[in-house]
A and B are shown apart, each in its own frame.
Chain A
Amino acid sequence: MENQINNPVIHVDDLSFHYGDKNVLEHVTMEVKQGSFLGLVGPNGSGKSTLIKCILGLLKPQHGGVYLFGEKVQKFNKWEKVGYVSQKANSFNTAFPATAFEVVSMGLFGKVGLFRFLKASDKTKVWDALKSVNMEKFANQNIGELSGGQQQRIFIARALVSDPELLILDEPTVGVDIESSESFYKMLKNLHRDNHMTLVLVTHDVGVMTDYVTDVACLNKQIHFHGNTKEFEESSLDNLSAFYGHHVHVLHHDHEHE
């Protein structure tokens, strides 16, 4: 598999993961081709974030493996090719004393390397990333003073600053108001169209997502559907009922994330 010339950007190969004796992912196999925009959907607790963390090598699956750009994730070291935006709205310390500019510049640290400093050209990259998310006016504001939607844009800018080929977003609009989340999705669509970036968007919001993505994967411990958006919409009724089943209720009332 690794030696193929046209490698998929992400290849998940028969991956299983469990916390203790609780199975979270069972035999997940999935490919993300270059230039696609994948929507990864599933109810809460379906293992979406766990799968993403396995893909990024932050968690080690008990069975199977992940290949990024054709290389096994444990050996992969070109992390500047990968941008990642996690569920920050829920987790990060909003009182952290860092400006938007400083947060975005963190995205370059992997590229710059140990014992080195940011050059003037790196600072230009930070400005460009801030401009691409329309946040250059807020560069010198502390991150905690920005709204949820603005913070999320800063984290996108941090993921974009190293000019990645793959951008992974884990529920980026959680805690963001509807208006800014719509313009947020539009921004992602533009990134995908103009920069030929491969995108993976994790969400439980099936409705909004299908307007923007090219492919859909439904996950609930296992992959229940994996195909392009057209196929998904055609088979959508069958899929959704089979897939969400009695979980539909859970989807709307349970706001906890795995």
Chain B
Amino acid sequence: MLPFLKYEFLQNAFLTGIMVGLLAPILGVFIVVRRQALIADALSHITLAGIAANLLLGKWFTLFAGLNPIYFGMAFSVGGAIFIEQLRKVYKHYEELAIPIIMSAGIGLSVIFISMADGFNTDLFNYLFGSIIAVKQSDVWTVFVILVAVLLFVFFMYKELFVLSFDEEQGKLSGIRSNWILVAFMAITALVIAASMKIVGILLVSSLMTLPVAASIRIAKGFKQTIWLSVLFGEIAVISGMFLSYYLDLASGGTIVICLVFILSISIFYKKFTVSRKVV
């Protein structure tokens, strides 16, 4: 066993990281091709409001103090996801408006809750930027349950999600009930965002959903390959990022994101290099 995996908290962090590195890019592929990359950002900010609410309640009632804030984060995030889908119907011709509305509402609530709880503490800092030391045993199990649910959903609904992402008209003609599938998809996206926050942090969670896809979409042939490559890139970044984070004593979220940016630049240059060689 690797020497630094002796510690239980590091084992927890690694298990969670590996699961999140699988989940976020899989959902990210569907989000990116539907041109909704910013939704992950909106949902992560509403997740922050949930966590801040939990910290505040923990201060007022001892009952909430022992509760893992991940559950409150999830509840807010899923609520926000459903709200976004409703807003998109209200603003049919300005669908993207839903994103800044939810994002600012999330930040607004978070700031109010934080100030009521007498400001920042290290807990909150960990949620913002990610910290592998903060991952608990209960987080591992929560993420594991989400992992199973998401994998089942994507596995059995793959056809439907694929058609709906490519063109909704064809989906309707195939008799696919688009509405509940899209709402369910948004809800599980919200869960994954809440689940990822301990590792990469709320401010950086959307990058784990979009950057691996941005890298793979340039070089992959076909949709399935895009998914596999995105997962591969996500895992490489999470694992190497956590190693670096531990040995260099850096925030895990930041190192993971920088690893992703590194992979992305390699894929961009790789594509440029191979395309220019073809021309010659």
Chain A residues at the B interface, C-beta cutoff of 8 Å:
56, 58, 77, 79, 82, 84, 86, 91-93, 95-99, 101-103, 106-107, 109-110, 112, 114-115, 117-118, 140-142, 158
Contacts and interface: CB of A to CB of B under 8 A. Distances in A.
Specify which of B172, B174, B216, B223 lies most central, judged by the most chain A CB atoms within 10 Å of its CB. Answer: B174
B7 interface: no
Nearest to B34: A93
A157 to B, nearest CB: 13
Contact of A140 (B167, B221, B223): B221
Nearest to B172: A58
A103 B221 CA distance: 13
A99 B224 CA distance: 9
B175 A79 contact: yes
B170 interface: yes
24 contacts: A56-B173, A77-B175, A82-B173, A84-B173, A86-B167, A92-B166, A93-B166, A96-B165, A96-B166, A98-B162, A98-B222, A99-B223, A102-B223, A102-B224, A106-B159, A107-B170, A109-B160, A109-B174, A109-B176, A110-B174, A115-B156, A140-B222, A142-B221, A158-B170
Given A93-B166, A110-B174, 15 more contacts: A82-B173, A84-B170, A86-B169, A96-B165, A97-B216, A97-B222, A97-B226, A98-B222, A98-B223, A109-B160, A109-B163, A110-B176, A114-B160, A140-B221, A142-B222
A86 to B, nearest CB: 6
Given A92-B167, A109-B159, A97 B174 contact: no
A208 to B, nearest CB: 26
Closest 8 CB pairs of A and B: A110-B174, A99-B222, A97-B226, A98-B223, A109-B159, A109-B174, A110-B175, A115-B156
A103 B173 contact: no
A98 B173 contact: no
B227 to A, nearest CB: 9
Contacts of A98: 162, 166, 222-223
Contacts of A106: 159, 162-163, 166, 170, 174
Interface in B196-238: 216-217, 220-226
A117 B160 CA distance: 11
A97 B173 CA distance: 22
Contacts of B224: 102
Contacts of A95: 217
A114 B177 CA distance: 10
Nearest to B229: A97
B160 A97 contact: no
Interface of B: 33, 35, 156, 159-160, 162-163, 165-167, 169-170, 172-176, 216-217, 220-226
Contacts of B173: 56, 58, 79, 82, 84, 110
A109 B156 CA distance: 13
B205 to A, nearest CB: 23
A158 B162 CA distance: 14
B162 A97 contact: no
Contacts of A93: 33, 35, 166
Contacts of A114: 160
A138 to B, nearest CB: 12
A217 B220 CA distance: 45
A140 B221 CA distance: 7
Nearest to A84: B173
A77 B222 CA distance: 30
Contacts of A56: 173
A82 B159 CA distance: 19
A96 B33 contact: yes
A91 B173 CA distance: 17
Contacts of B166: 92-93, 96, 98, 103, 106
Contacts of A112: 159
Nearest to A86: B169
Nearest to B218: A97
A79 B176 CA distance: 11
Contacts of B216: 97
Specify which of B33, B175, B176 lies most central, judged by the most chain A CB atoms within 10 Å of its CB. Answer: B175
Contacts of B169: 58, 84, 86
Specify which of B176, B216, B222 lies most central, judged by the most chain A CB atoms within 10 Å of its CB. Answer: B222
A218 B255 CA distance: 64
B17 to A, nearest CB: 26
A91 B162 CA distance: 17
Contacts of A102: 162, 222-224
A19 B110 CA distance: 42
Contacts of A96: 33, 165-166
Given A93-B33, A112-B159, A99 B221 contact: yes
Contacts of A77: 175
